[in-house]
Structure formats: structure tokens, C-alpha cells
Homo-oligomer: A and B are copies of this chain.
Amino acid sequence: MSESTVVVFGDDPPVRLDRLAGRARVLVCDEASLPELLPAADVLLVWNFTSEAVRAAWPGDGPRPRWVHAASAGVDRLMCPELIASDAILTNARGVFEQPIAEYVAGLVAAKAKDFFGSWELQRQRRWRHRETVRLAGTRAVVVGAGPIGRAIGRTLEALGIAVDLVGRTAREGVRGGDELNGLLPEADWVICAAPLTDGTRGMFGREAFARMKSTALFVNVGRGPLVVQDDLVAALVARRIGGAALDVFEHEPLAADDPLWDVPGLFVSPHMSGDTVGWRDRLAEQFQDNYDRWEAGEPLLNVVDKRLGYVPVD
């Protein structure tokens, strides 16, 4: 195979692809130069995972990358009919984010159960006020999203003695079907959204879902912002119809300084970082380069996304 051209979209922070030196022509581009370079790419590495520029620049006809690798778990920002219809292979960063996100969610659940934020607030006020907290063991969680991230979350919550129902698109062993979700929500103490964003999941957490939840339930979104109807969530929190929420992802990221979400009562906001542990960028670069070895050798790539589903299928 002749030397491939690898176009890297995004360089903040710069990606280090030392192992490709002498093996590939590596070109870095930004949103402005992407449309010009994309047709020249054999391989596109999407390093900037927050932009939708790839979708906009994807060539309908003519030359285009044969392989697109997303340095993220979700690929929703890349998806367009032309990419789906093309013969380009799409791969993702499965394996990098699972355990970090699972730990993050477990921490949020514990922080809510033990009312750490309440204690933090009382500490500011220099007030000693003993409260009774919630015992995690014996509580119930619903984890929506039965891919590797949802499964890791489920395993970690179970390790804390929490009973977990995992909900996927279709029922299979160990996974409840999406049609069972409505029946599960009223029993759940913790409702965790870790689903991929697809046409089928967009807005799945809206007024009706929040109305079914316990008044004490914590809702956590570590999937994608548009899975949630933000206004409906805000209304549920303001009316105290649910016990609280934690969002790590949003419809518009970064959240603007004047966004009303910052001070909704009972809402914990974090800046899309649940999976990003020290060294994550290096792990993403390694993972891409490992797959590049396979590409160069003509071997099947790992983590191939089913473009019609919008994620890597898991049994």
C-alpha cells in the first residue's frame, strides 16, 4: 500500500502521532481548511470532537477518505446521509472512556446520596447540621444505553450494591428493551443516560419521562445534550418533581456564561469531562495509531461503527 494521507481535524491540544512518522503524510487542519483538505485524505482523524464541520464539509461525490476515526465515543456530530451512504469506514474511541465515565457517575450518585453539596453549602455558612443520608446498597438504578459505557456504569453501580437495569434499543440477555423504560422509571432512584444520540434517542428524556420518575430520583446525563429536552428538565427541577440532576453534556457546548442552566436549583453542571482522565489524549492517539497499523497491514479495523445505528454494536 502506498503512503496514505492522514488529515487531522483539530489540533488543540496538538495530537502526537509519532508512530506515523515516515509512514504517512500527516496534515493538520482547522474548520476553515477542512473542506479543502478533506478530498485529499485517505484517512480522517477527527480530533476536534465538538465541531460539526466534518458533516458540513463531507464530499458528496468525488474523492473522500476511506476511513474516518472519531477520537470520541459518540459519532453523532459526524453523521450525515452522505457519510452513511458512502463506503467510508467509521471507527470510534471505544475502550478509552468507559471506566472513567463509570467512576464519574458512581461518584455523582454517591455525592447525591450523601448530600455532599448540601454539606459543602453548610460549610460555607459555617453551620453544623446533621442529616440522615441515603444508603446506596439496595437502591435501584436504570442505565439507558447498553453499549460499553452503559455497561461499565452498570457494573460499577452494582459493585456499590445498587440494583441495575440496563436499557438498550432492543431487549437481549442482560438488557431491557427501550419499550420497558417507562415501566422501570418509577422504581429508579438513579436514572443514568449514557445512550448514543441518534434519530431514535433524540429528546427521549422529556416531560413524560421526568413525570414518571420518583420525586427523589437523580437524573444524570453523560451521553449527549440533545438526548434531553432541557426545558422539560429545568421545569421538573424547578417544580421539584425530581430530586436532582447532573449534566455533563449539553445541547450547546460550551455553555455560555449567561445560560440559565448554571443556576437551576438541584442541577449540577460539569463541562463535558466525565471521561477525560489524566492521559486521555495520549490514549486516544495510541488507539488511533494501533488502528493505523491494521489499516496499513490491510487488516480489519477495530471499533467499527455501524453507521446506520450510529454506534459500535455490542452483543
Determine if A95 is an interface residue (Cβ-Cβ < 8 Å): no
A271, B104: Cβ atoms closer than 8 Å: no
Q: Within A83-111, which residues are at the interface with B (CB < 8 Å)?
A: 99-100, 103-104, 106-108, 110-111
**Which of A119, A270, A276 has the most C-beta atoms of chain B within 10 angstroms of its own C-beta?**
A270
Question: Which of A134-142, A207-215, A228-236, A293-301 forms contacts with chain B?
Answer: A134-142
Residues of chain B within 8 A (CB-CB) of A159 are: 159-160
| Residue of A106, A110, A119 with most partner-chain B CB within 10 A | A110
Bound: A133/B100 CA distance, A = 9
A110 to B107, CA, bound (A): 5
A106-B110, A110-B107 as given contacts; A135 in contact with B278, CB under 8 Å = yes
Are B116 and A277 neighbours in the complex by a CB distance under 8 Å?
no
Contacts of A100 in B (CB 8 A): 133, 135
Does A308 sit at the interface, judged by CB under 8 A?
Answer: no
Residues of A in contact with B (beta carbons under 8 Å apart): 99-100, 103-104, 106-108, 110-111, 113-114, 116-117, 119-120, 122-123, 126-137, 156, 159-161, 253-255, 257-259, 262-263, 268-274, 276-280
Nearest CB in chain B: distance from A253 CB, A:
8
Give the top 3 A-B pairs by smallest Cβ distance, nearest first.
A107-B110, A159-B159, A128-B254
In contact, A257 and B135 (Cβ under 8 angstroms)? no
Q: Which of B116, B127, B257, B278 contacts A116 (CB 8 A)?
A: B116
* A119 engages B268 (CB within 8 Å): yes
From known contacts A123-B268, A271-B129, infer whether A277 and B103 are also in contact, taking CB-CB under 8 Å: no
Residues of chain B contacted by A273 (CB below 8 angstroms): 130-133
Q: When the two chains form their complex, are residues A103 and B107 in contact, meaning their CB atoms are under 8 A apart?
A: no
Q: List 30 A-B contacts (CB under 8 A).
A: A99-B135, A99-B137, A99-B161, A103-B110, A103-B113, A103-B136, A104-B133, A106-B160, A107-B110, A107-B114, A111-B116, A116-B117, A119-B268, A119-B271, A126-B259, A126-B262, A128-B257, A128-B271, A129-B271, A131-B271, A132-B273, A132-B278, A132-B280, A133-B276, A133-B277, A133-B278, A134-B278, A135-B277, A156-B160, A159-B160
